[in-house]
Amino acid sequence: MPNPLQGAQFVLAAHRLGQLPADRGAEVAFAGRSNAGKSSALNALAGHKGLARTSKTPGRTQQMVVFALPPLAQGEGRPPLEARLVDLPGYGYAEVPAELREHWKREIDAYLHRRGSLRGVVLIVDIRHPPKPFDRMMLDFCAATALPCHVLLTKADKVARGQAAAALEALRRGMREDGVPGTAQVFSSTAGTGVEEARERIAELLRTPRG
């Protein structure tokens, strides 16, 4: 199956909302704690090992990093869609000064509220741990604003299959109970688990205008 995210290219890294590309077309944002495997997931999804920087030091992504996708086919009779992926700063890193953490809290909040081309969020959660406060805050935001969310339970290769299935069911149940408009899956960038499923879900988010 062709990869709809193949050909992603770095465009820019923005420190403020106003530095992002023109607010048109469609984009999906990637959010998650700094050690949950967000960069590795982006690289696996795009089929490009060097697209997003990975590091043994969590929190290296301290700007909003924009990747342009090739024009995305929308179906017969509709023009290709200008599409982007936006890697939001990893949250929860301890080595960053409090002032910078507050800056990113404000900028991410502004981005999620104001960005008209935003069609969904991919939330990266380490399957080995229950959702952290930031994860729950993001899910609550999606529920409150009807922003579609797709959760990747990453590092699934590090747990037993039964444990992975239980974590996925618990997350899906919580999302249903809290009214989160979204989906969730097990994922491993190392083993390739769930990569094709995630690619198709992200392409679907990009193609679906928000109501």
Task: Tell me if 96 is assigned to some domain.
Answer: yes
Distance, in Å, from the CA atom of 68 to the CA atom of 86, rounded to the nearest integer, reads 9
Sign of CA dihedral 152, 155, 160, 161: positive
Q: What is the CATH classification number for the domain harbouring 44?
A: 3.40.50.300
Query: Coil, helix or strand for 30?
Result: strand
DSSP state of 19: G
Q: What is the pLDDT of residues 60-109, one digit of tens each?
A: 457 899 999 999 988 888 899 999 999 998 876 556 678 888 888 899 99
> Are 126 and 37 within 8 A, CB to CB?
yes
Give the number of domains in the chain.
Answer: 1
Strand order in the sheet with 118-126: 9-14, 64-68, 83-87, 26-32, 118-126, 149-154, 182-186
The pLDDT of residue 95 is 62
The pLDDT of residue 94 is 52
Task: Tell me if 4 is assigned to some domain.
Answer: no
Q: What is the pLDDT of residues 11-45, one digit of tens each?
A: 999 999 999 999 999 999 999 987 899 999 999 99
Query: Which residue reads 């990266």 in tokens?
Result: 124
- Whole-model pTM: value is 0.93
Task: Give the list of residues 6+ apart from residue 159 with CB closer than 8 angstroms, or none.
Answer: 127, 128, 167
Per the structure, the complete domain to which residue 25 belongs is given by 9-207
Task: Tell me if 162 is assigned to some domain.
Answer: yes
Residue 54 pLDDT > 70, yes or no? no
